[in-house]
Structure 1
Amino acid sequence: MMSDPAASVRDLAFSYRSRQVLGRVDLALARGETVALLGPNGAGKTSLMRLLAGRLVPSRGSVRVAGGDPGRQSAVRRAIAWVPQEIALYPRLTVRENLEVFARLAGLPRAAREPAVVRALARAGLDEVAGRLVGVLSGGYQRRANIAVALLAEPALVLLDEPTQGVDQAARAAIHAVLERLPEAGAAVLIATHDFAEAERLADRVLVLQDGSLRLDGRLADLLAGLRAGPPEHEVALAEAAGPAAAAALRQAGFHPASPLTWRAGDAVAGGRDGAALLAHLRRHGVPVREIRVREPGLDVLYRDVTEQETVTHPVRAPAEIPA
């Protein structure tokens, strides 16, 4: 555990209706750090975030944010910004009016409310739509307004659950620009996402949660450096499902099926990095190839490797240094 973290959980367990959702989780989030939380549906990601926000009480273990217990201390909960997937705003109020309402609900002193509203509008890039009704804004602007509300009280911990779900590419880029600046004020930022590109862009550190346990915890740069020291990722997209002969040829070339029309290989394959040579090799053996991609492996490959392990008893942690 790091010294004086913004948030930490120790030996954390949580059960719901006799079903264990989380078990023996240890975690610390540093000030000024952005952490991506990945995992399959049902892994316990939202429960972990709700425990950190003080909205759930653990069955065992402790949760600390800014030195206090968010489940039992309202003052600690005010130091936490929780941004859920759902838009939690008043659609018939303007963006500014929403911020003013939530500033009062957050308990900000009267003299502090207007500066907080102005600051939140600027940080979320909402000045140009501050006077517009939330209900007529695009989904991207609504999500940015949701984030702006969370920033009113200068939180020590910001929790975001799928912050770009359902928005287009332009809105996604605008939201990312907002999120990239959040650690500048010293907050710890935890983002639950299924978007690997989003995690690679925003995160300093990556967690993978599966079946209620942390299976991976490491600095993103170290994890990717270790992964990319190995062979490139090969992916073959087929025009039709591989028959027995084509499947045998793909396996012989070093591939394994990822879906009926997609085969992948991370180890040395026929043709190596030369996609043209690999294409010729497979077509000679009757494989109905539609496309071949050869690329450096990314976070999606690391995630797949971790979550496809059938028996893991301890989290995988990145080494402090990656050997040259």
Structure 2
Amino acid sequence: MQGRPFYRMLKSQRESTSVAELAHIFAGYQSGDVLKDVSLRMCAGEVTALAGPNGAGKSTLIRVLTGTLLARTGLVRCNKTETSLVPQEIALYPWLTARENCVAFSMMDGASRRDAGIGASNALDMAGCTQVTDTRVSRLSGGYRRRVNIAVALMSSPKLMILDEPTAGLDADAKRVVQDVMRRVRDAGCAILVVTHDFDVVEHLADRIIVLAGGRILRDESPGDLMDTIFAGQRPVELLLQDAANEHQAAFLVAHGAVCYGPTRWVVLQKRNYTDVGPLSDAMAEAGLRIVEMRVREPNLSDAYTLLVKAEA
């Protein structure tokens, strides 16, 4: 920081569209590659959501982008000094105030106390923390702690900010405020990568969603395009069974395009006549499946993600 207002510094970054790029990277550990032929690009003023099941490679991807893990092969174009990470676990000194945390982390990066103080005021303002500037972190709510953590990440004037499950554990009001903060950061020209399974965040904020599974990218497209790709005019029909399906019944359900959401909960896509589930019900009865409830519902992004990932499992 050189004393310039933070938001002006970020606005100037819009001139450079692409801020991070991975091309055909393979990366992992001694046990083998976790990421396999991964390519992606993130641009200034754009929010990219990253979703995937446990073990998909999300943490490894974050490590590559932040420079803490080198890719074995492929191109990585991402300046780690211009990348900030907001981890899922709050990373603050609880005995320091919000301002003191910002100043401390900035000085660790080499800023003078004066520049760190100016930067702290700008960052806390952007994160919506002006009311708690001089409050110890230990006395703050979970929502405020998350916002202070974002303010700390803003201190380095990042071109790319990575947020790992930023709304986890927050109530509805706190989630909305955190989303507002992310919008302000995006509108200031920062590229945002948000790792999340909160599809409300994805629907309201994300320009693109990347679905990662087994170390490979299954989809990289807008949330709307993902919905169109998965559903193609179909509607999900939710089946609630009286008993868990046996092996034969499960095979029957899968053969009919059903996806298991739980021992007694399955979802199948109905192509036409969304409200006419009679033929589907008859087919299930012939297989010996006792259906407690069957309902047609509007598709949503969470369904699209689940159907995609489970189909690839």
Could you state the TM-score of these two structures normalised by the residue count of structure 1? Answer: 0.79
Find the partner of 1:60 among 73, 97, 101: 73
In structure 1, the residue matched to 2:135 is: 132
Tell me how far apart the structure 1 counterparts of residues 129 and 278 of structure 2 sit (CA, whole Å): 49
Give 1:165 shift: 1.7
> Which protein is richer in helix relative to its size?
2
Question: What is the 5 A alignment of 1:36-75?
Answer: 36-65=49-78
Give 1:208 shift: 1.0
Spell out, residue by residue over 1:134-158, the C-alpha distance to the aligned partner (whole angstroms, 9 max, x if none): 1122222211111110011221000
Q: Does residue 144 of structure 2 align to residue 141 of structure 1?
A: yes
Give 1:111 shift: 4.3
Q: One-letter code of the match for 1:40?
A: P
In structure 2, the residue matched to 1:21 is: 34
Tell me how far apart the structure 1 counterparts of residues 188 and 98 of structure 2 sit (CA, whole Å): 23
Does 196-205 or 271-280 show the bigger shift?
Answer: 271-280
Tell me how far apart the structure 2 counterparts of residues 13 and 253 of structure 1 sit (CA, whole Å): 36
In structure 2, the residue matched to 1:163 is: 166
Tell me how far apart the structure 2 counterparts of residues 248 and 161 of structure 1 sit (CA, whole Å): 36
Spell out, residue by residue over 1:100-121, the C-alpha distance to the aligned partner (whole angstroms, 9 max, x if none): 1122123334543233211211
Give 1:15 shift: 2.2
Question: Is the Cα–Cα contact under 8 Å of residues 249 and 287 in structure 1 kept in the other structure?
Answer: no
Tell me how far apart the structure 1 counterparts of residues 225 and 110 of structure 2 sit (CA, whole Å): 41
Spell out, residue by residue over 1:10-35, the C-alpha distance to the aligned partner (whole angstroms, 9 max, x if none): 22111212321112211111111100
Give 1:298 shift: 2.0
In structure 2, the residue matched to 1:261 is: 264
Question: Is the Cα–Cα contact under 8 Å of residues 83 and 160 in structure 1 kept in the other structure?
Answer: yes
Q: CA RMSD in A?
A: 3.3
Give 1:286 shift: 9.9
Question: What is the 5 A alignment of 1:176-195?
Answer: 176-195=179-198
Question: Is the Cα–Cα contact under 8 Å of residues 228 and 296 in structure 1 kept in the other structure?
Answer: no
Question: Is the Cα–Cα contact under 8 Å of residues 231 and 304 in structure 2 kept in the other structure?
Answer: no
Tell me how far apart the structure 1 counterparts of residues 261 and 119 of structure 2 sit (CA, whole Å): 49
Could you state the TM-score of these two structures normalised by the residue count of structure 2? Answer: 0.82
* Distance change in 2, residues 1:145/1:251 (3 Å): closer
SS at match of 1:40: coil
Spell out, residue by residue over 1:190-231, the C-alpha distance to the aligned partner (whole angstroms, 9 max, x if none): 111122222222211011111111111112222224445412
Give the paired residue count: 298
Tell me how far apart the structure 2 counterparts of residues 11 and 118 of structure 1 sit (CA, whole Å): 40
In structure 2, the residue matched to 1:113 is: 116
Find the partner of 1:224 among 224, 227, 230: 227
Tell me how far apart the structure 2 counterparts of residues 46 and 259 of structure 1 sit (CA, whole Å): 26
Q: Does residue 8 of structure 2 align to residue 8 of structure 1?
A: no
* Distance change in 2, residues 1:140/1:293 (3 Å): farther
Tell me how far apart the structure 1 counterparts of residues 246 and 81 of structure 2 sit (CA, whole Å): 59
Question: What is the 5 A alignment of 1:213-292?
Answer: 213-227=216-230, 229-238=232-241, 241=244, 257-268=260-271, 272-273=274-275, 291-292=293-294
Q: One-letter code of the match for 1:96?
A: R
Tell me how far apart the structure 1 counterparts of residues 201 and 277 of structure 2 sit (CA, whole Å): 28
Unaligned runs of 5+ in 1: 66-75, 312-324
SS at match of 2:18: coil
Question: Is the Cα–Cα contact under 8 Å of residues 33 and 204 in structure 1 kept in the other structure?
Answer: yes
Tell me how far apart the structure 1 counterparts of residues 137 and 102 of structure 2 sit (CA, whole Å): 11
Give 1:91 shift: 0.6
Question: Is the Cα–Cα contact under 8 Å of residues 236 and 264 in structure 1 kept in the other structure?
Answer: yes
* Distance change in 2, residues 1:128/1:278 (3 Å): farther
Tell me how far apart the structure 2 counterparts of residues 254 and 18 of structure 1 sit (CA, whole Å): 35
Tell me how far apart the structure 2 counterparts of residues 6 and 132 of structure 1 sit (CA, whole Å): 34
* Distance change in 2, residues 1:113/1:267 (3 Å): same
Unaligned runs of 5+ in 2: 1-15
SS at match of 1:6: strand
* Distance change in 2, residues 1:278/1:130 (3 Å): farther
Tell me how far apart the structure 1 counterparts of residues 122 and 85 of structure 2 sit (CA, whole Å): 18
* Distance change in 2, residues 1:309/1:286 (3 Å): closer
Question: Is the Cα–Cα contact under 8 Å of residues 65 and 80 in structure 2 kept in the other structure?
Answer: no
